[in-house]
Amino acid sequence: MRHPLVAGNWKMHGTRASVAELIEGLSRQALPAGVEVAVFPSCLHIAQVVRGLDGKRVAVGAQDCAVESAPGALTGEVAASQLQDAGCSLVLVGHSERRLILGDSDADVTRKFAAAQSCGLTPVLCVGETLEQREAEQTLEVVGRQLAEVIDALGIDAFAKAVVAYEPVWAIGTGLTASPEQAQQVHAAIRAQLAGQDAQVAAGVKILYGGSVKAANAAELFGMPDIDGGLVGGASLNADEFGAICRAAGN
Ligand code: PGA
């Protein structure tokens, strides 16, 4: 039985004041039992959010981590062990903004995934195709390759404690959403690829959909059999909207 997870990716947004407001708004939300909820503030605001949501049923994650798990000489980076120490329980790895804008390679993503797990953090592995790749009908191949990189390097057992997020790049921050059927097709392919190695692991992995999820489209996406919740960007910056998305996952 997979419990849904709704995760809010705050990206490079927030000030101390706006984060305090968001914490306050989240604290007021009625969150459905059986739905896991997590937020991913910028590194700068993790401590504030961990403190502010103490005692609430909202986990805190980071948006990225260093390829090295231990602290050391790596200027500007944050180690998974430091994130764990700060109160994080999850970390995004391989978000398309990091892959496409900041140059994270598949090998970097795999190292970050391993670093996260070695510190007890749950990695949320983001995969997804660009518009060009979708139009060239390469979606399943691209996503399959991104997933295979990690499976081949770390083994299928690494997915016993990991989350996968399918985020079509063309749907991120664009207002365009994959249709529930389009998303389901990719989610089913991801699960089948994992099942090819271990059916039990595949059945337990949460696969989130991300890309312009909002309260108005969440229920129909989350209604699909292989969609286990969402990774929500823009809409997660509004506590009421995010709360409504969490409630949609509970229905
Ligand atoms: P969006 O972002 O919901 O603003 O499209 C999703 C994401 O990038 O995780």
**Spans of all domains in the chain:** 5-250
C-alpha 33/C-alpha 241 separation (Å) is: 18
For residue 87, the CA-to-ligand 1 centroid distance in Å is: 23
Question: Quick one: average pLDDT of 159-177?
Answer: 95
In this structure, are residues 226 and 184 in contact, taking their beta carbons and an 8 Å threshold?
yes
Catalytic residue IDs: 95, 167
In tens, the pLDDT along 52-92 reads 999 999 999 999 999 999 999 999 999 999 999 999 999 99
Residue nearest to atom 9 of ligand 1 (CA): 233
Which atom of ligand 1 sits closest to the CA of residue 172?
5
Cβ neighbours for 148, distance < 8 A, ≥ 6 positions apart: 193
The response to whether residue 213 sits with its C-beta less than 6 Å from ligand 1 reads yes
The response to whether residue 234 sits with its C-beta less than 6 Å from ligand 1 reads yes
Q: Is the pLDDT confidence value at 1 over 80?
A: no
In this structure, are residues 220 and 246 in contact, taking their beta carbons and an 8 Å threshold?
no
The response to whether residue 241 sits with its C-beta less than 6 Å from ligand 1 reads no
Query: What is the CATH superfamily name and number for domain 5-250?
Result: Aldolase class I (3.20.20.70)
**CA neighbours closer than 13 Å in the CB half-sphere of residue 15:** 2
Band of pLDDT at residue 251, cut at 50, 70 and 90 = confident
Calculate the average pLDDT of the chain.
97
In tens, the pLDDT along 31-54 reads 999 999 999 999 999 999 999 999
Indicate the pTM of the whole model: 0.98
For residue 5, the CA-to-ligand 1 centroid distance in Å is: 15
In tens, the pLDDT along 116-144 reads 999 999 999 999 999 999 999 999 999 99
